[in-house]
């Protein structure tokens, strides 16, 4: 005899759902092309989310290798709230000036309300060498800020989220000696730029430093920041072996390009959490 029984419901935790979405998003990120000159022609990375995505304009992300590391995590968080797509323009080794032409077309195509920008001062591509074959660190920082400003000019109605990045483990030695690192200077200039434009400065270093404000490869795990990334050891690896990137097991970058991370990245998750919080807070306060 056939009985009409209901199947038991399987309840999934939010953490498992997010991890699943990140895995889907990583599978959708285009494989980096072999030449940096092809960066501006890389395809749009989209996430197929099991949740309903709204018809709102997508959030745009422009960035270098760090942008490529956080992209799948930001896609997943945005698909959960406020349930919008992310269009990623990210490629290792690039700087803001590499994306100016595409940004103009992106504004026409998407008319985004929100644009996330994260560049760390690379000086590998032709547009960064107009002031010399190898610009100094200070020149590279000034050029990065100028490039970010020019990138922003392509979106006359968007609100921007300018992301400050934590200094590397190697740069921490300079900081310990009382010197200002290039990353610190770039972050300061980006924060000043945010004050004079339609922008929110997103400071991520605090969630990537230890209690003494120092850059480390590993940090104590906290449920608030790391959630299901916390293991039994109570420690999370937030930086790559090179001390600058985020993937715990990534090989060294070649001209700023790194391979796709094959394991969960607590560092990328922490930085993305800060960006996502800034976006949702801004949306809530402007309703």
What pLDDT, on a 0 to 100 scale, did the predictor assign at position 213?
A: 96
Do 125 and 96 contact (CB within 8 A), yes or no? no
Angle at which helices 169-176 and 182-195 cross, to 10°: 90
What pLDDT, in 10s, does the model give residues 104-115?
999 999 999 999
What pLDDT, in 10s, does the model give residues 115-139?
999 999 999 898 988 666 778 888 9
Query: Other C-beta atoms within 10 Å of 111: how many?
Result: 12
Spatial distance between the Cα atoms of 271 and 278, rounded to a whole number of angstroms: 11
Spatial distance between the Cα atoms of 277 and 286, rounded to a whole number of angstroms: 14
What pLDDT, in 10s, does the model give residues 221-272?
999 999 999 989 999 999 999 999 999 998 888 888 999 999 999 999 999 9
Confidence band, pLDDT 50/70/90 cuts, at residue 34: very low
Residue with tokens 């990623």: 88
Task: Write out the H or E segment, with its range, that includes residue 21.
Answer: helix 14-28
| CA geometry: angle 269, 76, 156, nearest 5 deg | 95
Domains of the chain, CATH where assigned: 16-24+51-285 (3.40.50.1110)
Residue with tokens 């991520």: 204
Task: Write out the H or E segment, with its range, that includes residue 60.
Answer: strand 59-63
165 vs 126, residue with greater confidence: 165
Structure pTM? 0.83
Structure tokens at 3: 């009985």
């Amino acid at each position: 005899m056939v009985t009409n029984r209901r199947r038991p419901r399987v309840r999934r935790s939010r953490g498992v759902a997010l991890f699943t979405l990140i895995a889907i998003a990583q599978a959708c990120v285009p494989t980096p092309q072999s030449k940096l000159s092809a960066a501006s022609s890389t395809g749009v990375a989209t996430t197929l989310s099991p949740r309903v995505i709204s018809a709102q304009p997508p959030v745009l992300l422009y960035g270098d290798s760090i942008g490529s590391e956080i992209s799948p995590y930001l896609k997943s968080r945005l698909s959960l709230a406020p349930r919008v797509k992310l269009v990623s323009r990210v490629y290792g080794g690039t700087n803001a000036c590499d994306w100016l032409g595409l940004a103009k077309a992106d504004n026409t195509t998407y008319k985004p309300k929100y644009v996330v920008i994260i560049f760390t001062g690379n000086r590998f591509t032709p547009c960064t060498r107009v002031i010399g074959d190898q610009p100094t660190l200070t020149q590279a920082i000034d050029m990065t800020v100028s490039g970010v400003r020019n990138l922003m000019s392509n979106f006359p109605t968007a609100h921007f989220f300018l992301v400050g990045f934590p200094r590397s483990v190697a740069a921490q030695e300079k900081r310990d000696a009382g010197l200002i690192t290039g990353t610190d200077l770039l972050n300061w200039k980006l924060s000043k730029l945010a004050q004079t434009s339609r922008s929110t400065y997103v400071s991520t270093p605090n969630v990537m430093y230890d209690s003494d404000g120092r850059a480390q490869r590993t940090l104590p795990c906290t449920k608030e920041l790391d959630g299901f990334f916390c293991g039994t050891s109570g420690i999370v690896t937030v930086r790559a072996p090179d001390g600058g990137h985020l993937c715990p097991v990534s090989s060294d970058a070649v001209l700023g390009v790194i391979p796709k991370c094959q394991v969960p990245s607590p560092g990328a998750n922490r930085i993305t959490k800060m960006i996502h919080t800034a976006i949702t807070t801004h949306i809530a306060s402007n309703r």
